[in-house]
Structure 1
Amino acid sequence: MAKKNILIIGAGGVAQVSAHKVAQWADEFGDLHIANRTKAKADAIIDSLREKGHKMPFTSHALDAMDPAAVEALIGKTDAKIVINVGTAFINMSVLEGCIRAGAAYIDTAIHEDPAKVCETPPWYANYEWKRRDDVAKAGITAILGAGFDPGVVNAYARLAEDEYFDKIDSVDIVDINAGSHGRWFATNFDPEINFREFTGTVYSWQGGEWRENKMFEVGREWDLPVVGKRTAYLSGHDEVHSLSARYKDADVRFWMGFGDHYINVFTVLQNLGLLSEHPVKTAEGQEVVPLKVVKAVLPDPASLAPDYTGKTCIGDLVKGSLDGKEGEVFVYNVADHKDAYSEVGSQGISYTAGVPPVAAAILIARGTWDIKKMVNVEDLPARPFLGLLGEMGLPTRVIDATGDHPL
């Protein structure tokens, strides 16, 4: 069977990781194509692949991914059978449309975002991607949504708990702690515009069979986690809550993210000054600017943080439930190292954890294991093949259960 060409759309830190992982697993694919609005950024990723000695065919392309016809045309030109979308979340629906038209498998790592809306009514996926389920099925393509780490791997962790530990799940608490340091006075670990938009709206969680609303940094608690130790994390709105709540309707589903006091202070000042607004304002000189885009422009490029990043991340699911009426809990998690990620692929650990999983999903599609010809979120698929492959690719899973702390 002919190997499938793969197209990566995007050229940031996550795309860098995904491209290197495709190259490391070149035997699973045909040619690798990388497309970005600014072609030079795609060229830089290809240069980094060649510096590592990778030999598979690489080609870069300029692409306006907001144009479905352009996406469709590029898929046709490259004969790509699998598209990994790791660009901004603003392009999801246009890239998905291009894949539907061209008959290519689609993988992304976050929910679509409308630039005009900061806070979406839940379940967020139902506002965009899920509306195209029938079209995906009619086109006979596979579309795997949210196949990064969170969302993505953490969804698979919940499915693992469902499949192997419990017949009834009572709660899923996803905890994301970055115990690393990038050495800058202030920076975000991924696109600042997307990062800040994530935290300026209502925090939605699924509790007691309904959506609960809180403000950012309103609810916090201390977690004692493997390797990184005791850290404060705050109840946050996040992509995976919106799909997991549909599968686990009778469970509480919450997302907790770790923040230091410095980040919270800077965020609060920026927000109170109106600098995180996505609405245009006019300067005294009559120039129209969007405050959030100005903040993004003056902050460090997240990809530039990689060389100086030290420390580790710990991301996992604490799942509580029962089996045959007996209650229990399990913590399924991964620890990643920023320096190790940089040494291997030239990116920091946050990008590494987000960029490896979509390639694992692509491999499973190429092998036929996950080529299910419909639209799904990661928790809708068997977890073991995905998590096992991720372990081979550099993101091993560990489990703390009644028997202790052990590898999956």
Structure 2
Amino acid sequence: MKRNVLIIGAGGVAHVAAHKCAQNNISLGDIHVASRTLGKCKAIVDSIREKGSQRGSGLLKAHQLDALDVEATKALIRSTGSQIVINVGSPFLNMSVMTACIETGAAYLDTAIHEDPDQVCEPPPWYANHEWKRRDACRAAGATAILGVGFDPGVVNAYGRFAMDAYFDEVESIDIIDINAGSHGRYFATNFDPEINFREFTSNVWSWEGGQWKSSRMFEHRKDWDLPVVGRSTAYLTGHDELHSMSKNLGVPNIRFWMGFGDHYINVFTVLNSLGLLSEKPVRTAEGLEVVPLKLVKAVLPDPASLAPTYIGKTCIGDLVKGTKNCRPREVLVYNVCDHKDCYEEVGSQAISYTAGVPVVAAAMLIANGVWDVRQMVNVEELDPKPFISLMNRMGLVTRVRDEQGDRVLDPYKESPATARSPKQVVDAPAV
């Protein structure tokens, strides 16, 4: 059993994660929130107290931390007695926080792939450029590290794995579709960190097709999808984190990621990009000031967390899986629908942050009770998805499935065969 959680980050996802940890602190123990800006951490703690999210006794405390400082992070892990670290700060922090966890033995979780500030869209598979280089160190230290356990990446990895095990003999394709049909009422804003958001779209788009990497340009390929609740929606082929582990671990020849964008977003993005305002490379002004255009744009855009009070509408995110069962073609959609207003009423968040923050806490709980405490580095699709999906159903992210039998809530233990055919052996937690 592992106890006490240190949450690194103080943005929208950290806000949700802290609330969900507090709701489950009887299992998780003390909750600590740390970032460079102490005031943001204190605001999260205050919001938990205001909403009465904390269910049991235990510490709930804010800390100031530069998480790029490995020694400082190690010291905070040790002083708080934290055995689980949830890294939901900037993806630029991943390797520093992971190093601190390996060296202290704390379990490590994140929700996005590591990024080098000086490089955009590195060669695939992205995990091989950074995180996977520490797999041997994790195993040697007996440290659990679960990578990319937000929604996408994270839940969609588990959906793909579950669908393969439960519904198919062979899978030909997994199309991950992310549609936000909500409205925040602002002229222009991003739903998560603008810097990270724009970096995803300013270079090559990598997809996994025919068992190899295929490069295209952003907004080059579009497709209309008919999805539950949000209806017919246009999405664009986009590169994304989960493709870079699922392509390696699942043995599926075609895995693609599609994200919905409105015409207004595309127009504003195109103008900013064409003017060079989304560049991560510094420029010098006539006054001699050195400015990074992308950071300037981030500074003038709304804080994604500030969108929550007026956000309305729903999201629909899921995996459309196609293949064969008993030599017959089959198509299954495994998905979740989340309501922005409901999220705000529960934890003061919009749905984009909620869908990323709930899964990482569910994973922390599975580490705490030993189910996912595997003492090595893994991606989500390498783990048994059933306890993860079942736990999220109880925590506020309900999974549904649509197939030839209709549309229903997914109970993974009822729909999964006793002995699932699996593309790769599920990683089991070692015996204690």
In which range does the TM-score fall when normalised by the shorter chain? over 0.9
* Alpha-carbon offset, residue 389 of structure 1: 0.3
CA shift at 1:188, angstroms? 0.2
**Equivalent in the alignment of 2:74:** 72
1:229 maps to 2:227: no
Deviation string, structure 1 residues 275-334 (Cα, Å, up to 9, x no partner): 000111111111110000000000000010000100000000000112232221100000
In 1: Cα distance, 2:391 partner to 2:58 partner: 21
2-structure distance, mates of 1:56, 1:4: 11
Partner residue, 1:4: 3
Identity fraction in percent: 67
* 2:214 match: 212
Displacement of 1:68 in angstroms is: 1.3
Partner of 1:309: 311
Partner of 1:324: 326
Per-residue deviation at 1:209? 1.2
The amino acid across from 1:307 in the alignment is P
| Cα separation, 1, equivalents of 2:252 and 2:225 | 24
Q: Distance in 1 between matches of 2:100 and 2:148?
A: 18
1:67 aligned partner, one-letter code:
D
Task: Show the counterpart of 2:268.
Answer: 266
Cα deviation, residue 141, structure 1: 1.2
Q: Determine the structure 1 residue equivalent to 2:30.
A: 31
TM-score (normalizing by structure 2):
0.93
The equivalent of 2:365 in structure 1 is: 363
Q: Please, which of 193, 196, 213 is the counterpart of residue 194 of structure 1?
A: 196
RMSD: 0.9
Gaps of 5+ in 1: none
Residue of structure 2 equivalent to 1:146: 148
Deviation by residue 1:246-287 (Cα, 9 ceiling, x = unmatched) = 023342000000000000000000000000001111111111
Look up the match of 1:277: 279
Partner of 2:420: none
Deviates more, 1:66-75 or 1:118-127: 66-75
- Contact 2:161 / 2:250 at 8 angstroms: preserved in 1? no
Deviations 1:143-171 (A, max 9, x none): 00000000000000001111101121110
Deviates more, 1:394-403 or 1:323-332: 323-332
Q: For residues 206-226 of structure 1, what are the alpha-carbon distances to aligned partners after superposition, in whole Å with 9 as ceiling and x for unaligned?
A: 001110011000000101100
Report how far residue 386 of structure 1 moved. Answer: 0.2
User: Which amino acid in the other structure matches residue 338 of structure 2?
Assistant: A
- Distance across 2 between alignment mates of 1:248 and 1:322: 16
Whether 1:181 and 2:183 are equivalent positions in the alignment is yes
Question: CA deviation digits over 1:188-242, x for unaligned, max 9?
Answer: 0000000000000100000011100110000001011000001100000000011
1:173 and 1:253 in contact (8 A); partners too: yes
Partner of 1:112: 114
Instruction: Please state if 1:248 is matched with 2:250.
Output: yes
C-alpha distance in 2, partners of 1:163/1:382? 10
2: CA distance between counterparts of 1:105 and 1:76? 13
Q: After alignment, is 316-325 or 33-42 more displaced?
A: 316-325
Residue of structure 1 in register with 2:374 after alignment: 372
Separation (CA, whole Å) in 2 of partners of 1:356 and 1:203:
28
Shift of 1:65: 0.6
Q: Secondary structure at the match of 1:66?
A: coil
Give the match for residue 139 of structure 2. Answer: 137
Q: Which portions of structure 1, spanning 4 or more consecutive aligned residues, are displaced by more than 6 angstroms?
A: none
Is it true that 1:289 corresponds to 2:291 in the alignment? Answer: yes
Contact 2:35–2:63 at 8 Å: present in 1 too?
yes
- Partner of 1:398 in structure 2? 400
CA distance in 1 between counterparts of 2:58 and 2:386 reads 29
Gaps of 5+ in 2: 411-432
Preserved CA contact (<8 Å) 1:169 1:248? no
Q: Give the match's secondary structure for 1:33.
A: strand
- Letter of the 1:319 counterpart: V
Given candidates 388, 391, 401, the residue that maps to 1:389 is 391
Offset of 1:18 from its aligned partner? 0.4
Corresponding position of 1:43 = 42
Letter in 2 for 1:104: A
